[in-house]
Amino acid sequence: MHLRITSDANAESGVGQVVDEISGPTRNHFARKQYGAGLLGVVVVLMCRNGALNFKRRVRFAKKDKTLFMDAMLDLDEMRQAEHGVRKRIVAERLTDEIPTVLHKHSIPDFDDARFIEDLKSWLTEIG
């Protein structure tokens, strides 16, 4: 399973530093796991921009590539004011909440979503 975490965030939010810290270990952790041929990858973009810009959350399942692309929205003011450890916890909690929610909205045959979600929550609790 390919699990990629990236961001589109204002530098002052500190989200970039969180992504730098968790992206590689998360990608490596899930690279050796298999949950079925129905879903081969999940790409999450952490969006942390000024709310006045009215960014809309994007979610797309690419059937050809068997990859789920999604945005996870973060509050810029909250992230700007938080310490690094708190930012990391907020990101982990948001991923723990939003990835399963999006997965449950898509019917993906030949994918063990329950096991993936359990592994995801365990991993994010460990790093968050």
Domain residues for the domain of 104 are: 2-127
- Phi and psi (nearest 5°) for 8? -130, 90
Q: What is the mean pLDDT of the chain?
A: 94
Q: What does the pLDDT read at residue 127? A: 86
Contact 35, 1 (CB under 8 A): yes
Task: Tell me how far apart the alpha carbons of residues 125 and 78 are, in angstroms, rounded to a whole number.
Answer: 21
Residue 128 confidence (pLDDT) above 80: no
Confidence check: pLDDT of 76 > 90: yes
pLDDT higher than threshold 80 for residue 75:
yes
Count the domains in the chain.
1
* N-terminal to C-terminal alpha carbon distance within the chain: 21
